[in-house]
Structure 1
């Protein structure tokens, strides 16, 4: 016979109202059910917390992935922008090379003497990069091309720098040559005798006149016709007071019959500087300047070197 537990229910006055008999098995079953229910609730609560944490982690991971996708998109946009800049730099470099050749033609200089052209021996400018890729596509191929073209442009820029250095040296040399070449009228006045054969006003015989004569009032300013260094200032027989300027490159100018030389031997002069005053020293028929131009010791026609 099953065991039972009797429960007595008392009233407020203490008298017995009802007596209950509950089987022990039922109580055990109810206790087990309570314990299992509590355990199930605990496990469910724990699983809920775990699921909640997992969901939060998944949300964070999803946000991180979205941020990384956005960052990758921005990086690919930057790669495309750099590709455009590389194309623009290449175009500018080619333009500079063409500009240099134009300068050489205008300045009557020889073409660039580099052993190869701007982009290497037999090389042409690399093809333009194609940055028009979808942002979802991988950009490794474009990046490889960019690295290769950056190396090529770096080498080309070094060649261009060397070529521009050579051009600058030649232009500087040409500028010095032009500055040292007689190019202006040495004095105001009237040209009374030209370069070449003439009848001497003193002997009446035919002679070779090595320069030109320019007549004006005594004291008229005489100008250096090019940059140079005074190589002689003093008297020289029938030429009277003479001043000679060495312009380099085998070129000298001589100024004779001066009333006074205003520069001394060894002084540097520039084109347009006042170097002397007109006079009639030496053998002269009146105040005038005898002006000579000599190239490598040979007299040449000064009129060729008067451009104003």
Structure 2
């Protein structure tokens, strides 16, 4: 069997020529053609696929660009939050110092000390470094911010407790001051003081439990401190009498009245008119017998008159 194939080729002049090719060459050319055809088909397909996916890639690039901008904005926001944490810490420290000053002025013992103000260790946390490159130390700054946020939460709770205890103490002091007799119960002059004296009726030595303040008949008698009227009525030699309970173990009594203007159980403020001066009971003339009791013991009312 021949390994060659002959072909008749017609030339431009009309003559015919015979061309002979080996089978091996023809096979090689066939394989080469088939391979080229496959490669051409793959290139066309790949180009077609790339052309289809190109718009999606463009959108992906735009999306990545936007995300990069968002990340940069978030990093700036993180730095801003870190600055705000530092500012808040400074304000808490200033408030704590302010509370200290108030307690020193009012001579009040500190309820919470600085050692425990920021939690375990007590030391004031360092300011956050917002200048660090967040691309390198982002997680480190976030951890520090989280830790300081917990410390500030503890510090703010302790500061609230401190101010609440300070407020309660000052409120108690205010109530005590408003409930402490501090003014004269009426205008006039003192005719008899607190302590032992010679009785104007018997001439004998007796203990006088209050002050006698002489003035004109029907002059207003005022409460010397805030309180609740605990008694109105007649009380032996003191005649018509008003007693006011001021709390804290303090009671005042006003005797020899002409007319009582308040009722038992009524709330009274310092300066309220409670009665008029009279001569009821055993009296040598119009005056008010004024008494102050501390825990049931009579004390000198003159020590509780500041005006």
SS at match of 2:136: coil
Aligned Cα root-mean-square deviation (Å): 3.4
TM-score w.r.t. the length of structure 1 is 0.79
Kindly report which structure 2 residues correspond to 1:150-169, keeping only aligned pairs within 5 A, or say none. Answer: 150-169=149-168
Give the equivalent residue in structure 2 for 1:12. none
Give the equivalent residue in structure 2 for 1:16. none
Structure 1 residue 59 displacement after superposition: 4.1
Kindly report which structure 2 residues correspond to 1:178-217, keeping only aligned pairs within 5 A, or say none. Answer: 178-204=177-203, 206-217=205-216
Structure 2, unpaired ranges of 5+: 1-5, 20-25
CA distance in 2, matches of 1:306, 1:23: 150
Give the equivalent residue in structure 1 for 2:8. 3
State the number of aligned residues: 292
Structure 1 residue 113 displacement after superposition: 5.7
Whether the aligned pair in 1 keeps the contact of 2:112 and 2:158 (CA below 8 Å) is no
Structure 1 residue 255 displacement after superposition: 0.4
Q: Once structures 1 and 2 are overlaid, which stretch shifts more, 285-294 or 43-52? A: 43-52
Whether the aligned pair in 2 keeps the contact of 1:73 and 1:135 (CA below 8 Å) is no
Structure 1 residue 54 displacement after superposition: 6.1
Q: Deviations over 1:55-76 (max 9, x none)?
A: 5555444433332222221111
TM-score w.r.t. the length of structure 2 is 0.79
CA distance in 1, matches of 2:296, 2:50: 106
Whether the aligned pair in 2 keeps the contact of 1:101 and 1:112 (CA below 8 Å) is no
Q: Deviations over 1:95-114 (max 9, x none)?
A: 22222233333333322167
Kindly report which structure 2 residues correspond to 1:1-308, keeping only aligned pairs within 5 A, or say none. Answer: 2-4=7-9, 45-52=44-51, 56=55, 58-112=57-111, 117-120=116-119, 122-204=121-203, 206-308=205-307
Give the equivalent residue in structure 1 for 2:23. none
SS at match of 2:275: strand
CA distance in 2, matches of 1:181, 1:202: 33
Structure 1 residue 297 displacement after superposition: 2.3
Structure 1 residue 141 displacement after superposition: 0.6
CA distance in 2, matches of 1:239, 1:229: 20
Q: Deviations over 1:101-128 (max 9, x none)?
A: 3333333332216796312355122122
